[in-house]
Amino acid sequence: GENVEQHPSTLSVQEGDSAVIKCTYSDSASNYFPWYKQELGKRPQLIIDIRSNVGEKKDQRIAVTLNKTAKHFSLHITETQPEDSAVYFCAALMDSNYQLIWGAGTKLIIKP
Partner 1 sequence: DTEVTQTPKHLVMGMTNKKSLKCEQHMGHRAMYWYKQKAKKPPELMFVYSYEKLSINESVPSRFSPECPNSSLLNLHLHALQPEDSALYLCASSQVNSPEAFFGQGTRLTVV
Query: Given the rule CB under 8 A, which residues bind partner 1?
Result: 32, 34, 42-46, 49, 87, 89, 91, 93, 97-100, 102-105, 107
Residues 6+ apart with CB under 8 A from 41: none
Q: Which is nearer to partner 1, 17 or 39 (CB)?
A: 39
Q: How far is the CB of 42 from partner 1 (least distance, A)?
A: 7
Q: How far is the CB of 79 from partner 1 (least distance, A)?
A: 27
Q: Which is nearer to partner 1, 29 or 46 (CB)?
A: 46
Q: How far is the CB of 43 from partner 1 (least distance, A)?
A: 4
Cα gap 34→31, rounded to integer Å: 10
Assess contact for 88 and 37: CB atoms under 8 A: yes
Q: Which is nearer to partner 1, 84 or 103 (CB)?
A: 103
Q: How many residues does the chain have?
A: 112
Nearest to 34 by CA among 50, 23, 19: 50
